Amino acid sequence: MTELVLEETEEKMQQACESLKREFSRVRTGKASPALLDGIRIEYYGSQMPLRQVANISAPEPRLLVVQPWDRTALPAIEKAISKSELGLHPLNDGAVIRLPIPTLTEERRKDLVKLVRKLSEDARVSVRNIRRSEIEEMRKLEKAGDITEDELHKGTDKIQEITDRHISVVDDLLKAKEREVMEV
């Protein structure tokens, strides 16, 4: 029984770390990355669609993204969605593709991004801790129901703490790497 709880704990905490990686990929640094546009949705034939489903996104140069829609009638909607996003990018529409030059970040903007990255990582830490709390609670329920012994409860909670510490360390490593990336000039 404890093995199932430990596997579940590992899986949930891994998902929290993967979610943080996805969030970090959406944070704009000085480099062009197609992942910057992952959160953008456009109005296409009366429904909201992710940009990736209506266009090809590439980064031919370190400071340029190119969005090439499969249907050129979607160009105005794509341009509008990118302009409205909080990315601070200014699309250049040439009638066939949209070019997105990635401006260099100012020192003030870099500091704001570091604050955002720290907040995202703290949210991930809280998520990992909440998983720990709920899984330890699950272990206690098993012990009260008589499915596991008190010794198994203590060993299980110790293992859950080890898993938690390991995932908190992963979050910290991801934070350090992203802070370095944001602060590079």
Q: Which domain holds residue 71?
A: 34-101
Which pLDDT belongs to residue 185? 56
Per-residue exposure over 77-112, b if at least 16 CB sit within 10 Å of its own CB, e if not: bbbebbeebebebebeeeeebbbbebeebeeeebee
Q: Check whether residue 65 and residue 19 sit in a common domain.
A: no
CATH, residue 38? 3.30.1360.40
150 to 2, 4, 131, 145: CA distances (angstroms): 12, 17, 21, 11
| Domain count across the chain | 2
Kindly report, residue by residue over 42-90, the tens digit of the pLDDT.
888 888 888 888 899 998 888 888 999 988 888 888 888 888 877 777 8
Q: How far apart are CA 37 and CA 55, in angstroms?
A: 11
Chosen domain end from 83, 101, 119: 101
pLDDT at 23 over 90: no
Q: What whole-number percentage of the chain has pLDDT above 70?
A: 98
CATH, residue 138? 1.10.132.20
Kindly report, residue by residue over 90-118, the tens digit of the pLDDT.
888 888 889 988 877 788 888 888 898 99
Q: Check whether residue 21 and residue 54 sit in a common domain.
A: no
